[in-house]
Chains A and B, each alone.
Chain A
Amino acid sequence: MDPREVVDSSCKGPVLFLAFSAITWLLVYSIFSMLAGVKVHASGMMADSAWLSYGRIQPASQLALQFGFLVQLGLAISAWIFSHRGRTVLVDGGYLYIGGLIWNAGVTLGLLGILSGGSSGLEGLQMPAHILPILFTGFVLVGVSLVQTNNRRTDEEMSPAQWFLFTATLWLPWVLGSAFLLIYYFNAKGVMANIIDWWFIQNFTKVYLTFVALGVCSHFFSSFTGRGVIGRGYSMFAFWVLLLFGSIGGVTLGAPVPAWLPALSTVTSVFYFTGIVAIYYVLHHTQNGATAVDESDKDNLTLMRLALIIFALVSVLNLIFAFPGMASTAEFTTYGAAIDLLYNLGFVGLLLIASLYHIFPRLAEMGLSPKITKVQNMAFILGFLVATLPSALGGLMSGDAVLGSGFYFSSVGDLLLLLASLLLFLNFLGAIIMVIKRCDCLSGLCGKQQRKEVKA
């Protein structure tokens, strides 16, 4: 049997479970985001319910997006990449099931907690305090499997993809756990809780999500184009610079903290950008001018290239707006939230979805409907562009609390995103139902059972 197929069959159940949960959460996110947008236009709608107030739906949607969708899909793809890069079966795949279940339970409870009024008031860590240990446990269990899989790799040498993904797997529990302990156990006083929160957000976006995305991107660029990873030295430089300087900062300009914190954030942003330039250089050269070796990966490669462009755009914007002169225009407007969303959906999300399109046929032994996929991709890309760019521009132009029509655009974008995520969900649901019907997947959790021979 082709060793690739052995690896795939070991990954099948757990990875598809995590991936499908992630897609469900994307759907939940888009529904909530749509609801939130509606509340801003038609302020009288559904005003009688506390559960549907804007201040509860908005943080809930962020939770669903970041923790439900991005982290879980990242874990799924990481698992697949670790086993393929390392040419090993997924070790202890059962942990992915258990960890995934606990993670999903945590996100669900967190969502319900926020909607019922238990949000913490800290951006980025809105879930009630008791949810954090649940999330931590779920992630660590999944991480156990990932780390073991990486350790069982056949080649001693690790590629940049593995560095990025491995460090990301370690990083999130450390940051999440520290934030939880510092805020809730050691009772950070006053503005300290906010500083820890900003530190967490910075680490979550600029280190964890970025590393997951860069690892995925690096792997797939080299595998789609058939080239090796170009520029190991630059990747190493980028890795350490991004890790060191991405983990410090994130304090906004006008924050009620001593002046050195925003100044330090500006300085680390500049250094972080040098790491971005280095890794972009590597990734760009890896895929420059190449076409996908496998026909079916052409679209995926295009999607990933688009994601890389968005990455570059957002990074340049982040550099420009790290300086006080520019930041004061954008501060407290919808610009910041819009650009963060563009990064989350347009770079990380798009990258992960594109890689899921590549992985799914190999795991499930059947393809997704290409037409739905095309429509879904168009809707998704259009959706996040329309949802974020006008809002960002509007935020910059208004520069103060009075907002222009950015909200209307972002609602149209939300509608497109809702359509996209619905299509994605149905696409996968349909395919998975067929897969489950076809094979005996439910009988072997660890995926070590032999597959039935199925006609391709």
Chain B
Amino acid sequence: MTIGLSFIMGAVAGSVAYFMLGLWWPVALVVGIVAWLTFGLFGLKMDSAFTLMSGAILVFCISLSMMIMRSSDQLSSLQYADTVDEAGTEFRYPVPLLGEAPYGENVYRSNGCSACHTQQVSHEGVEFDIKALATEKNHSAVKEAVNRFYRVTGQPASSGVALGLPVGEWETIALGASVSDAAKARSFLSAAGASVDVQVRFHGEDLEKDEFSNPRGRGWGKRRSVARDYLFVERPMLGSVRIGPDLANVGARLSRSTLMRILLNPKSVRQNSKMPQHSYLFELVEKSEGKGLIAVREGEREIYYKPTKDAEALVDYLLNLKSANYPLEEAPVYQPFTSSLPKPATSEKEVEKLADGEDIDSSK
């Protein structure tokens, strides 16, 4: 190979090593030089098993360091985070499994539930709604800021602002703005002294359903799953196929009795379920005494099943799965309003909906 071509080859190798594989720059430089020399001056001879093996070792090390070591550096220092639960109480997240739940996790693992169920929630995008409140004092400054926002972002002005920004009332400045637009709006408006209120809306098919921003949401979680959610799981059973629904947040969705019924006979709970029956987790009992029995009607009789220890533990584990429920720094939860200021007036869309006679709150 000519010197020129081999130089290009070396440049490619070095760039790939530095920019894409993110190797330390002297290492990338060495990789580039070595590639140049091997291709150009020495002529890469593939005939020696030694060449092949050393090349393969080099590639293996690059692959290991790029993907494994680097992610290990980033993820090994993960710790608890403080977050709030539904009632507003602070607690440390994630909560380790207690009681029978670790055994239930083993039951989940050994029965291969991850062959059909995933335990990871993802989300697709985020949008912002911006509202502003101007007082008498800063009215003209705020109006100027709003106009500047529209000029800079190229968005059409809201009708309220076009008529003249109201004083002392919340006015919608932008609906469904992108991240950068929202940041601009926030900075312009707060610089002018207005009160700014921001509504963050996530959309993603896995997330909670919302009429405006996420009409196709399946309600499998409030936010996406992140690495911190699996801090205490030894080998997270993330799964890769969703023949059945995602289970990351199932503890917040389903109750104990529903879960038991699903395990015993899924078709009794969901008609078109493809889940096989797991009746080996249950014992047939004669009498209807005892707690926790499941009654199944067959024709005229009632048959009673008692969950085995495995089934109880498994359901305990599933009820503990609430990993897409609580906000984290890297995965905020859908937030209706970001401050405790008096709630702004309903947005235009909401007003339209009211006019159409629909209910604003979506029922599940």
CA distance A59 to B237 in the complex (A): 13
With a CB–CB cut-off of 8 A, which chain A residues contact B227?
A: 190-191, 256-258
Interface presence of B122 (CB below 8 A): yes
Are B56 and A59 in contact, with the CB atoms below 8 A?
no
Are B235 and A121 in contact, with the CB atoms below 8 A?
yes
- Known contacts A258-B227, A401-B243; can you find 4 more A-B pairs with CB under 8 A? A183-B235, A190-B227, A332-B246, A400-B205
Q: Tell me how far the C-beta of B109 lies from the nearest C-beta in chain A, rounded to whole angstroms.
A: 4
Are B276 and A163 in contact, with the CB atoms below 8 A?
no
Give the interface SS of chain B, mostly helix, strand, loop or mixed: loop
B70-102 interface with A by 8 A CB criterion = 71-72, 74-76, 78
Interface size class of B (residues with CB under 8 A): 35 or more
CA distance A158 to B93 in the complex (A): 57
Residue of B72, B225, B267 near A188 (CB, 8 A) is B72
Closest B residue, CB atoms, query A237: B9
* B225-239 contact mask (Cβ, 8 Å, vs A): 1 or 0: 111011111111111
What are some 14 contacts across the A-B interface (CB < 8 A)? Answer: A119-B110, A119-B112, A121-B236, A121-B237, A158-B46, A166-B52, A182-B68, A190-B236, A194-B238, A195-B67, A195-B71, A252-B240, A401-B245, A403-B243
CA distance A48 to B265 in the complex (A): 12
CA distance A115 to B64 in the complex (A): 32
With a CB–CB cut-off of 8 A, which chain B residues contact A121?
A: 108-109, 114, 235-237
Count residues of A near B (Cβ-Cβ below 8 Å): 83
Interface presence of A228 (CB below 8 A): no
Known: A43-B266, A189-B75, A332-B240. A54 touches B116 (CB 8 A): yes
Closest B residue, CB atoms, query A187: B234
CA distance A43 to B264 in the complex (A): 11
CA distance A244 to B58 in the complex (A): 9
With a CB–CB cut-off of 8 A, which chain A residues contact B53?
A: 170
Are A167 and B224 in contact, with the CB atoms below 8 A?
no
Q: Tell me how far the C-beta of B234 lies from the nearest C-beta in chain A, rounded to whole angstroms.
A: 7
B residues apposed to A, CB below 8 Å: 16, 20-21, 44, 46-47, 49, 52-53, 55-56, 59-60, 62-64, 66-68, 71-72, 74-76, 78, 108-116, 118, 120, 122, 124, 205, 218, 224-227, 229-246, 266-267, 272-280
Q: Tell me how far the C-beta of B162 lies from the nearest C-beta in chain A, rounded to whole angstroms.
A: 36
Q: Tell me how far the C-beta of B10 lies from the nearest C-beta in chain A, rounded to whole angstroms.
A: 13
Q: Tell me how far the C-beta of B311 lies from the nearest C-beta in chain A, rounded to whole angstroms.
A: 11
A residues apposed to B, CB below 8 Å: 39-40, 43-44, 47-50, 53-56, 58-59, 114, 117-123, 126, 147, 150-151, 156-158, 163, 166-167, 170-171, 174-175, 178, 182-183, 187-196, 199, 203, 236, 239-240, 243-244, 247-249, 252-258, 261, 264, 267-268, 271, 328, 331-334, 336-337, 400-403, 407
Q: Tell me how far the C-beta of A275 lies from the nearest C-beta in chain B, rounded to whole angstroms.
A: 12
CA distance A153 to B160 in the complex (A): 84
CA distance A402 to B205 in the complex (A): 13
Are B238 and A43 in contact, with the CB atoms below 8 A?
no
Are A174 and B113 in contact, with the CB atoms below 8 A?
no
With a CB–CB cut-off of 8 A, which chain A residues contact B16?
A: 271
Are B71 and A261 in contact, with the CB atoms below 8 A?
yes
Are B74 and A243 in contact, with the CB atoms below 8 A?
no
Q: Tell me how far the C-beta of B281 lies from the nearest C-beta in chain A, rounded to whole angstroms.
A: 8
Are A334 and B230 in contact, with the CB atoms below 8 A?
no
With a CB–CB cut-off of 8 A, which chain B residues contact A194?
A: 235-236, 238
With a CB–CB cut-off of 8 A, which chain A residues contact B273?
A: 43
Q: Tell me how far the C-beta of A81 lies from the nearest C-beta in chain B, rounded to whole angstroms.
A: 15
CA distance A178 to B243 in the complex (A): 31
With a CB–CB cut-off of 8 A, which chain A residues contact B110?
A: 56, 117-119
With a CB–CB cut-off of 8 A, which chain B residues contact A401?
A: 218, 242-246
Are B274 and A407 in contact, with the CB atoms below 8 A?
yes
Known: A53-B276, A190-B232, A195-B71. A332 touches B118 (CB 8 A): yes
With a CB–CB cut-off of 8 A, which chain B residues contact A43?
A: 266-267, 273-277
With a CB–CB cut-off of 8 A, which chain B residues contact A175?
A: 60
Are A54 and B276 in contact, with the CB atoms below 8 A?
yes
Are B233 and A151 in contact, with the CB atoms below 8 A?
no
